[in-house]
Amino acid sequence: MLRGTKVGLRARHEDDIPILRTELFDDVVNGSRADSGPWRPITPGSDDPRLVVDDTNERNVPFSIVELEGGTLIGSATLWGIDTHNRGAHIGLGLLPAARGKGYGTDVVATLCHYGFVVRGLHRLQIETLEDNHAMLRAAERNGFVREGVLRSSAWVLGEFLDEVLLGLLAQDWKPATPSS
């Protein structure tokens, strides 16, 4: 398990899937905002491609997020689109409703940065998020990500086009968090 100051990132367990599906993806509004495609219901018990892990796909590394204190599942995180030639990847995360607003997102981003830069030896990490996702923008900027641009009207979300903010962080600009004792 990768350890941050408040959270751990671990492999996805089979019993995580129904919780993540119910609390993250069955919510039409949250699911529509988090996914690049239209929301659609997934039959319980089916292989939901958003949640089932394909260990042979080295371009995407999904994690389940747990609280370090108690080990409670609080969300899902992914280092995705890993490009080993250009040494870059994208960061994505989703917190369960009960875990939002507690500073976990900042710690998840920091832990994913450690994984990307230290464990994987990447040069650049990138985040794309909706312009009104203030929590993700704060988490990214607290970890040193710089706003590099706005993709105007690039996301179709629940009947309207929204802007996406593009943020990037280079390995040489990353300042690792001080580990807690």
Measured distance CA(72)–CA(127) in Å, rounded: 26
User: pLDDT of 78-114, one tens digit each?
Assistant: 999 999 999 999 999 999 999 999 999 999 999 999 9
User: pLDDT of 24-65, one tens digit each?
Assistant: 888 888 888 888 788 888 777 777 767 778 888 889 999 999
Alpha carbon separation from 39 to 16, 56, 101, 104, 121 (Å, rounded): 20, 26, 24, 25, 34
Residue 38 class from Cβ within 10 Å (0-12 exposed, 13-18 middle, 19+ buried)?
exposed
